[in-house]
Amino acid sequence: MTAPASDGRRTARFRVHRRKAGDTASRYDEFEVAVGPNTTVLDGLVEIRRDKDPSLTLRHSCFHASCGTCGMRVNGQEGLACVTKVGEAAEVTVEPMANLPIVSDLVVAMEPFYECLDPVDRPLIRNSETVPSELPDGIDAYTRYEDCIECGICLSACPIAGSDPLYVGPAAIAAAWRVVEEPRGLAAGPVVRLMDDEQAVWRCHVAWECSEACPSGVDPAGAIARMRRAAIAARARRLFGSGGGA
Amino acid sequence: MAGTLDRERPLAAPEQRRGVGGWFDPRGRRMGGFAFILNRLTGIGLVLYLYLHLVVLSMLARGPDAWDQFVDIALSPPFLALDVLLLVGMLIHGLNGIRVGLIGLGLVASRQRAMFIALMTIAALVALVGALRIFGGE
């Protein structure tokens, strides 16, 4: 790390994962980037692409943690590059998210992630086209799961998704729990039953990394735990003959 | 299980996943992740100990001399250190197992970090007392 200039800017080394289609192995390229106190990892990557290596592939859009497209691993930890500051780090290692197919350099294919969400069939049903003047009591509990930006970071952080490629993953279970908690006219029972599966709630080993890593404050691990309780309750009801719904 | 997900398409090819080796990768992990790693390491250690224990017990079948010889080794400081290590493993795995059971069902889930710190503090204190007793010959 070079000494900071009078304006607080200094040079940081970016180690960037590189792998193009057809490559048999990954490599890491190093770039010296001028950074300031508020420089984000995405700022640095955009500068590298603009000024040093136009072949660097990365995905981004909004620059303010809203679109969820710039999820990656920075120094081994998942985060949105647009809101992850370089800080005081002398070296920043940037890698694509884990557990999803690498398309190129820092970009992963999101289709397998979206396929995990498909079975839940999340409804986007408005009761009204206008926002009510007063929100219902307890709406905060629901909006938490509504906040998911589908960035895939939870899937990358999950150690079980890394070892079991058929695990449906934290985001899908959180989405399912949103339906159960606030069904908006849908039947919650089939959703609970869908998630009562060895590839769903019972595959989680409670590392809690998904909730810790989530940039939107969604709590997928909490959703998994609640869905487990709902699944157990539904089984008990089926077993003792008091209905099959959740 | 009762579900009907029937997922067939994997998330990614094996070389693009962390794999089982990723369970033990501490880079970027937070407290829950470290608890996860500790539980696996201690679990594997306890399984290995179980087999070692069976090997030790099999010495009984070789007669009193073989057993007395083993007891002499078992009372040596390096072996006693292994006893302390076993105690530490049992405490971490057992106490963290209680935490995993509780938060895995959503009970006190919001306190999962505090619970880990509290239980590991208990583990450390009990391990310390145990180590003193083991090396003190009580």
**B1 near A CB under 8 A:** yes
Task: Provide, as residue numbers in chain A, all residues whose Cβ is less than 8 Å from the Cβ of B119.
Answer: none
Strands A10-18 and A91-95: parallel
Please indicate if any CB of chain A lies within 8 Å of the CB of B100: yes
| Chain A residues with CB-CB distance to B110 below 8 A | 222
Binned at pLDDT 50, 70 and 90, residue A140 comes out as low
d(CA A16, CA A4): 23
Closest to A208 (Cβ–Cβ): which among B12, B19, B32?
A: B32
The larger pLDDT score, comparing residue A181 to residue B40, is at B40
Test B17 with A159 for CB contact under 8 angstroms: no
ipTM of the complex: 0.82
If you measure CA to CA, which chain B residue comes closest to A223? B106
How do residues A183-241 score in pLDDT, each as one tens digit?
777 788 999 999 999 999 999 999 999 999 999 999 999 999 999 999 999 999 988 88
Q: Which residues of A touch B36 (CB under 8 A)?
A: 159, 205-209
CB atoms within 10 A of CB B49: 16
- In sequence order, the 6+-apart residues with CB closer than 8 A to the CB of B46 are B86, B89, B90, B93
pTM, two decimal places: 0.85
Closest-CA residue of chain B to A190 = B3
A42-59 pLDDT tens trace = 999 999 999 999 999 999
Question: Looking at A45-49, A109-113, B12-16, B62-66, which range is the least confident one?
Answer: B12-16
Span of A103-117, A135-149, A154-168, B90-104 with lowest mean pLDDT: A135-149
pLDDT tens digit string along B82-123? 999 999 999 999 999 999 999 988 888 888 899 999 999 999
Cα dihedral angle (A148, A111, A156, A107), rounded to 10 degrees? -110
Question: How does residue B50 score in pLDDT terms, banded at 50, 70 and 90?
Answer: very high
Domains of chain B: 31-134 (1.20.1300.10)
B17 touches A: beta carbon within 8 Å: yes
Min mean pLDDT across A58-62, A112-116, A164-168, B134-138 is at: B134-138
* DSSP letter, residue B28: T
Q: Report the gap between the CA of B43 and the closest CA in chain A (Å).
A: 13
The Cα of A145 is separated from the nearest Cα of chain B by a number of Å equal to 16
